[in-house]
Amino acid sequence: MFRLLLFVPLLWLSMAGPLTAADFDGPRQRLMEEIADLAQETAVETGRREFTPPVMAALGRVPRHRFVPQDQVPHAYKNRPLPIGHGQTISQPYIVALMTDLIDPRPNQRVLEIGTGSGYQAAVLAELVERVYSIEIIEPLAQEAAKRLREIGYANIETRAGDGYYGWEDAGPFDAILVTAAASHVPPPLIRQLKPGGRMVIPVGAHFMAQYLLLVEKKADGAITTRQILPVSFVPLTGGDKS
């Protein structure tokens, strides 16, 4: 179902000399077209035949090649996860689009992200909401992402190194929460930090096996509902209560 595009022209350019921003225009456009196609193909599972124009526009604006190691730059606009060091990955762009769309982001919202990684998902969110809070448990990644996001110009993202299982209590509650690593269960601290009417998207399941993306919604009266969306494969959420 999830096809991979081979961007031969980009690989040729990488051998011909340094890449410029314009060199990524074609691959980025093809990636956006593939994401749109996959949204239609997975509509039965996700309930979304297409992602909203603001989400797609945000994905198109964020320079994914700035969020991967130098040796991965030629692959930045392929629809697949890529290694970013420390055993972590930058998520597949289709999954980033899906998770972002599922929380229904609005310009006046405050969103918590668990698992900053290289900062890519945080950057996409920052294009759509008022403020993003992002936590990364691997300190070198947290430091690198904070520096990268500042250099690119994202002033509405606050990052910190810490255990995302427990959320960011003094900055909450949040309109939405995105978790970019697989947990064995939905962390209760994150449920508490979600506003009534808020949404959380989180992969839940064993390490790389039988994981499902869940949409968690907190109703106005505090009641919690969950819905399985798609089978996925994420790196495990570390820290916190594993029971």
Write out the catalytic residue numbers. 91
Nearest 5°: phi and psi at 24?
Answer: -90, -5
Reduced to 3 states (helix: H, G, I; strand: E, B; else coil), residue 64 is: helix
Enumerate residues 6+ apart whose C-beta is below 8 A from 207. Answer: 182, 236
Angle (nearest 5°) at CA 57 between 52 and 63: 140
For 116, counting Cβ atoms within 10 Å of its Cβ (0-12 exposed, 13-18 middle, 19+ buried), the class is buried
Closest CA to 137 of 196, 201, 187, 79: 187
The residue type at 111: V
In Å, what is the CA distance from 32 to each residue of 37, 51, 83, 94?
9, 11, 21, 9
Would you call the peptide bond into 173 cis, given omega within 30 degrees of 0 as the criterion? yes
- The Cβ-side half-sphere exposure at 68, using a 13 Å CA radius, reads 22
β strands within the chain, DSSP E: 82-85, 88-90, 110-114, 131-136, 157-161, 174-179, 194-206, 209-218, 224-232
